[in-house]
């Protein structure tokens, strides 16, 4: 059997490994357009700030590991330009080659969105979601005095910390009225205060152009202009589905439609990772959730099914955590505005409390729980101290379809330096009891 | 309505507050034998080590708060010595008084077990589960040169860290072959190594006597003797049910039998906290789990039901976390040996891995997952770095009856400084897939 996998990122390499583990005698080919496989773009901010010293550390395993240890036929610098029934056309070493497949996996990932404004192609205007320009970003950041970051999603926030740590003057331009706009306003207000200690945060501003002679010199918005030697554009990602779109069905997001076995609309053709849609566990609808952990698990599930066994991917919760200096930030499921947009009738509780026993000197946690009127928990957001462990627990609860009673009664462990007898999650649940008429 | 509550600890004060919140016009009396209410004995080790400076910080609220803010009739230094149908006999200010009740709650807590060996009554031999002697323990610890701790359960381990932080020479004597004997041997081995860096850890030794002229001078075991100025006995607790035992039914543990409304065998009589049995969520059996968080929740549920509303306590998972210097320690549900003793046919996975992304310099986590052959997860233990967040998440999963597929597919958030793409919980689940024949 010939298995062809387009893309050597998280989903592709996980799937390839899984197929070879279950079917050691099958021929598993991976076609990766860059020089890197199994790369970890989530680490780029830490490489730029210097916490991670060497670029090589961002690649989990190198090509030779996959070839010799796992028996995968890895092709790097190998660009698939045509997909047909049972074959691929690939450009490798300047030549066009044809490969046959019995089973095919799209694992083509995503790419950074562009702003589509004037002079975006100037030198010094860069995106960071691709590992191949991580070194370039770092080199330029080190040489720069002023840096503008466009966008304050997760990557924007993490890059803002990274480059301020290098001692640079940083402006962050965000089109929405708050940073990390997926979060509700109460949570975003805390993030905003923290960011404003370190960067010039310009909210509600739209970038209209870049300017510069040989290279970028300033970013122009609808309300001002900001001098810079480097502009980092981090305004989200888009699924890489150009070569897939005429071959399999795409969803509304333009990512590839899949079922829980990661099968596409065409038999023996699968999709996994950032190029694929999957189920949103909270809404029960198809969604596009381009994150590393779901990508790996989709790859795993795709690999098992490609190998002829059966495993179902239950979907993702869009769980995320990050931090900005001393403030941890995390979210799972829906924020209140997302839930309302989805049509839910919601109740919510926002609390500010210590994350540890009262007599420990630690910070505050600000936590918001959003639930349906039925009591089912739709999402949990937090910012402050002790966020990661609450979002971890919240992910487990949401994955299992918990309601506010479960949130209240889950027996969280108490240890004064890290938690409290009445955990913030439990206190928020108790507040919701009142709104639901639970005594 | 007259509500009488015996015991002003976590369960008693939570129940009292709940009744007054729902029934402001009812008369709620609390009889507490010490001078303190709503005390937090879990904080004692941190008070002894000096992390918590003032003893007063260990009491969440003082008596006047409960009286004036919540309208609870709190009696301190008030010892109930007889419980009869509709009345209590209480010793207060040297006098015997009688109080009538329509509804009664036992919230009498637990007390430290004694060793019942020779000269245990010597000055300088102390227990620490009672807040009333926290100051005495601290004063003696500060004056001592050598300290022996008998027992290496949670309190023994925490006190060992506390007194070594004061610069004392410390011997810990444990009758079992490993510290924290509830944990399995693989996990306990890591704890043992860490403890041996700081204390003289004597495993498999039984204390046979204390010796000393005016006060304790040494602890004698079946295998040696250890000089000391202070001996701390931390060998577990026993439910305080002397006054309850002729009035309501006790369980095997000698704690009071309750149902999910915290009702005892007698109408209008409730029990909550360390003196009460409740459901073990994992085994589905009655169990005695004397811990702070369950005590508070049992108190809450008792209060609601006493007030004439209905709320059910689903039980506890026996979740616990602690630490010893740099090593975090945590457990939820059953260890393998506990599961086997309960009659389960078990499979397990023990892994050692980094708790963060590979390129972050942090420590290792050692994690063990125990499951039934059906796939249901029975317990999770961990030691090392990043333990609290995994045990928090594990508590949520076990509370919701998760199986190994849920453990694998829960969408835990990935942020390189605190977690990994393949979380240790997920890796352990994947190992169990193999044992269960999941591809």
Beta-bridged to residue B323, according to DSSP, are B328
Shortest CA distance from A317: residue in chain B:
B411
pLDDT above 90 as % of chain A: 89
Is there a single domain that holds both residue B300 and residue B250?
yes
Is there a single domain that holds both residue A34 and residue A181?
no
Is there a single domain that holds both residue B68 and residue B23?
yes
For the entire predicted model, the pTM comes to: 0.96
Which of B381, B375, B376, B367 is CA-nearest to residue B337? B381
C-beta of residue A257 within 8 angstroms of C-beta of residue A277 = yes
With CB atoms and an 8 Å threshold, state whether B42 touches A292: no
With CB atoms and an 8 Å threshold, state whether A392 touches B397: no
C-beta of residue A391 within 8 angstroms of C-beta of residue B413 = yes
The average pLDDT across A176-194 equals 97
Minimal CA separation from B220 to chain A, in Å: 32
Confidence of residue A129 (pLDDT cuts 50, 70, 90): confident
With CB atoms and an 8 Å threshold, state whether A410 touches B416: no
A409 touches chain B (CB under 8 A): yes
pLDDT at B126: 95
How many domains are there within chain B?
A: 3
With CB atoms and an 8 Å threshold, state whether B321 touches A419: yes
For residue A411, report the phi and psi dihedrals to the nearest 5 degrees. -85, 80
Is there a single domain that holds both residue B100 and residue B246?
yes
Task: Give the structural domain span for B380.
Answer: 320-434
**Rounded distance between C-alpha atoms, residue B409 and residue B412, angstroms:** 8
Residue B29 lies in a domain: yes
B38 touches chain A (CB under 8 A): no
Q: Residue B337 belongs to a domain with what CATH number?
A: 3.30.390.30
Q: What is the mean pLDDT of chain B?
A: 95
**Rounded distance between C-alpha atoms, residue A210 and residue A227, angstroms:** 10
Nearest to B415 among A281, A316, A321 (CB): A321
On the question of pLDDT at B200 being above 80, the answer is yes
**B positions 244-283 inside 8 Å of A (CB):** 281
Task: Dig out the tokens for B190 from the structure.
Answer: 């890591």
pLDDT at B129: 74
Q: A21, A415, A418: best mutation site toward chain B, by most B Cβ within 10 Å? A: A415
Is there a single domain that holds both residue A229 and residue A270?
no
Of B306, B328, B358, which residue is a domain's last?
B306
B167 touches chain A (CB under 8 A): no
Residue B46 lies in a domain: no
Tell me, what's the ipTM?
0.96
Is there a single domain that holds both residue A101 and residue A120?
no
C-beta of residue A5 within 8 angstroms of C-beta of residue A107 = yes
B402 touches chain A (CB under 8 A): yes
Q: Residue A362 belongs to a domain with what CATH number?
A: 3.50.50.60
Is there a single domain that holds both residue A222 and residue A81?
no
Residue B439 lies in a domain: no
Beta-bridged to residue A68, according to DSSP, are none
**Rounded distance between C-alpha atoms, residue A220 and residue A239, angstroms:** 28
**CB neighbours of A139 closer than 8 A, spacing ≥ 6?**
none
pLDDT at A40: 73
With CB atoms and an 8 Å threshold, state whether A52 touches B360: yes
Minimal CA separation from B52 to chain A, in Å: 6
Tens-digit pLDDT profile for residues B18-64: 999 999 999 999 999 998 888 778 889 999 999 888 887 887 778 88
Shortest CA distance from A292: residue in chain B:
B421
Is there a single domain that holds both residue A79 and residue A191?
no
**Rounded distance between C-alpha atoms, residue A197 and residue A205, angstroms:** 19
**Rounded distance between C-alpha atoms, residue A97 and residue A95, angstroms:** 6
Is there a single domain that holds both residue A386 and residue A354?
yes
The tally of CA atoms less than 13 A away on the side-chain side of residue A395 is 35
On the question of pLDDT at B90 being above 80, the answer is yes
**Rounded distance between C-alpha atoms, residue A53 and residue B431, angstroms:** 32
């Amino acid at each position: 059997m010939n298995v062809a996998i387009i893309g050597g990122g998280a989903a592709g390499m996980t799937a390839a490994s899984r197929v070879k583990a279950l079917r050691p005698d099958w021929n598993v080919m991976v076609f990766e357009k860059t020089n890197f496989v199994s790369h970890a773009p989530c680490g780029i901010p830490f490489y730029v700030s210097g916490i991670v010293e060497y670029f090589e550390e961002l690649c989990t395993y190198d090509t030779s590991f996959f070839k010799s240890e796992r028996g995968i036929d890895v092709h790097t610098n190998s660009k698939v330009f045509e997909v047909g029934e049972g074959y691929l056309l690939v450009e490798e070493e300047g030549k066009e080659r044809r490969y046959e497949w019995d089973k095919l996996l799209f694992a083509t990932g995503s790419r950074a969105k562009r702003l589509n404004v004037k002079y975006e192609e100037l030198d010094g205007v860069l995106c960071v979601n691709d590992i191949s320009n991580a070194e370039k970003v770092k080199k330029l950041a080190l040489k720069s005095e002023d840096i503008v970051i466009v966008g304050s999603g997760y990557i924007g926030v993490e890059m803002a910390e990274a480059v301020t740590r290098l001692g640079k003057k940083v402006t962050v331009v965000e089109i929405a009225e708050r940073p990390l706009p997926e979060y509700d306003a109460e949570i975003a207000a805390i993030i905003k205060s923290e960011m404003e200690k370190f960067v010039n945060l310009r909210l509600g501003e739209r970038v209209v152009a870049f300017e510069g002679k040989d290279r970028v010199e300033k970013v122009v918005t609808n309300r001002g202009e900001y001098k810079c030697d480097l502009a980092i554009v981090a305004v989200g990602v888009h699924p890489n589905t150009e070569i897939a779109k005429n071959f399999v069905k795409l969803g509304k997001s333009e990512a590839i439609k899949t079922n829980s076995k990661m099968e596409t609309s065409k038999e023996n053709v699968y999709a996994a990772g950032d190029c694929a849609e999957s189920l949103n566990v909270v809404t029960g609808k198809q969604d596009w959730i381009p994150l590393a952990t779901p990508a790996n698990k989709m790859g795993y599930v795709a690999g098992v099914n490609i190998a002829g066994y059966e495993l179902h991917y239950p979907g993702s919760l869009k769980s995320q955590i990050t931090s900005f200096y001393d403030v941890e930030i995390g979210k799972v499921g829906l924020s209140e505005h997302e839930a309302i947009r989805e049509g839910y009738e919601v109740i919510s509780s926002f609390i500010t409390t210590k994350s540890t026993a009262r007599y420990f000197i630690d910070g505050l946690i600000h936590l918001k729980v959003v639930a349906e009127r039925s009591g089912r928990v739709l999402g949990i957001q937090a910012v402050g101290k002790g966020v990661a462990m609450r979002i971890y627990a919240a992910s487990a609860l949401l994955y299992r379809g918990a309601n506010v009673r479960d949130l209240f009664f889950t027996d969280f462990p108490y240890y004064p330096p890290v938690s409290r007898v009445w955990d913030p999650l439990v206190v928020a649940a108790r507040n919701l009891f009142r709104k639901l008429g639970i005594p």
